[in-house]
Amino acid sequence: MKHKDQLNRILELKEIPKRIVSLVPSQTELLVDLGLEFSIVGITKFCIHPSSLRNKKAVVGGTKQVHFDKIRNLSPDIILCNKEENTKEMILELEKIAPVHLSDIYNLDDALELIDLYGALFSVEKKAETLAENIKINNLDFRLYKENQPELKVAYFIWKNPWMVAAKDTFIDDMLSVNGFKNYFGDLERYPEVNLNSITEELNVILLSSEPYPFKSTHIEELRVQFPNTKIILVDGEFFSWYGSRLEHAFDYFKILRQELLE
């Protein structure tokens, strides 16, 4: 069987993969929600959903560094990676162990395509189709909900010391657009370091993500000194950056967020 990944690489597989190593947290959660938990043999320490998974499966490292021997000993049929989250050096080494399927996600359409690809790859087409359809319905419902609401100028911070933001060509930026937000740093690339003093126009909102940096309420107070007229809130980073089955519930979260911002 031939399968294509999101980098248009062709994977030659003799049968449906039964032993999966997943090195991307959002993709691990997607596998579980597609009914494939029993096929997962290895995950990363960051694969936290569902919370019980790390007690059941072999933890083979993180997303940037893994124990290749551990993965080899698991005898995987396939290894699931992501172009952004996993390094090129890792992927080259992993390909010596088993076929590697790479995702490459920049927007909601890419996320829906990955769900479809996994449906075909693991022969769970019906579950994948249902999940994708639910995401599309919820997205449409949210679009109608915010149709007459104002566009808000926002900055989405992912790190401190140095300050870093999500800019263009990222899944987060697409989720900001879905929310009707204009990304203040949308003219920069990927995840740049920024100087707070470079923010010369007034922002409507500063969003502090819960991941990868664990922003807290103390950081709100710190920023409020410099941006007294800007609304500053903590947001659940998983709903902005996890592109698997978590998207099914993301739009309900975005509705609540919108209500909070318009209070």
Instruction: Give the model confidence (pLDDT) of 180-226 as tens digits.
Output: 999 999 999 999 999 999 898 889 999 999 999 999 999 999 999 99
pLDDT (tens digit per residue) in 145-179: 999 899 999 999 999 999 999 999 999 999 999 99
Report the predicted TM-score, pTM, of the whole model to 2 decimal places: 0.94
Give Cβ neighbours of residue 42 (< 8 Å, ≥ 6 apart). Answer: 20, 21, 22, 57, 58, 59, 60, 70, 71, 74, 76
Please check whether residue 135 lies inside any domain of the structure.
Answer: no
3-state class percentages of the chain: helix first, strand second, coil last, to nearest 5: 40, 20, 40
Please check whether residue 198 lies inside any domain of the structure.
Answer: yes
DSSP per-residue codes, 169-187: SSHHHHHHHHTTEEETTTT
Evaluated on CA atoms 60, 63, 67, 68, the torsion sign reads positive
Structure tokens at 132: 């994708």
d(CA 206, CA 224): 10
- Percent of the chain whose predicted confidence (pLDDT) is above 90: 93
pLDDT (tens digit per residue) in 55-83: 999 999 999 999 999 999 999 999 999 99
**pLDDT above 90: residue 1:** no
pLDDT: which is higher, 54 or 81: 81
| 89 and 165 share one domain | no
Q: Which residues pair with 153 in a beta bridge?
A: 182
Query: What's the mean pLDDT in 89-94?
Result: 96
Question: H or E segment at 226?
Answer: helix 217-226
| 99 and 160 share one domain | no
Query: What's the mean pLDDT in 229-240?
Result: 96
Q: Which of 71, 104, 137 is the last residue of a domain?
A: 104
Number of structural domains (the chain) is: 2
Please check whether residue 131 lies inside any domain of the structure.
Answer: no
| Contact in structure between 49 and 74 (CB atoms under 8 Å) | no
Could you tell me the CATH number of the domain that includes residue 220? 3.40.50.1980
| 54 and 155 share one domain | no
Q: Quick count: other Cβ atoms within 10 Å of Cβ 45?
A: 13
| 13 and 69 share one domain | yes
Q: Which of 104, 128, 157 is the last residue of a domain?
A: 104
* Ramachandran angles phi, psi of 78, nearest 5°: -155, 150
| 173 and 229 share one domain | yes
pLDDT value at residue 104: 97
Domain span holding position 97: 2-104
pLDDT averaged over every residue in the chain: 96
- Provide the pLDDT confidence category of residue 109 given band limits of 50, 70 and 90: very high
pLDDT value at residue 47: 95
pLDDT value at residue 151: 92
d(CA 93, CA 146): 46
3-state secondary structure 241-263: HCCCCCHHHHHHHHHHHHHHHCC
Residue type, 65: Q
Please check whether residue 213 lies inside any domain of the structure.
Answer: yes
Q: Which residues pair with 156 in a beta bridge?
A: 207
| 66 and 169 share one domain | no
Please check whether residue 20 lies inside any domain of the structure.
Answer: yes
Please check whether residue 71 lies inside any domain of the structure.
Answer: yes
| 12 and 76 share one domain | yes
Q: Which of 104, 126, 159 is the last residue of a domain?
A: 104
**pLDDT above 80: residue 263:** no
pLDDT value at residue 200: 86
pLDDT value at residue 262: 81
pLDDT (tens digit per residue) in 192-205: 999 999 898 889 99
Give Cβ neighbours of residue 218 (< 8 Å, ≥ 6 apart). Answer: none
d(CA 9, CA 43): 23
pLDDT value at residue 202: 86
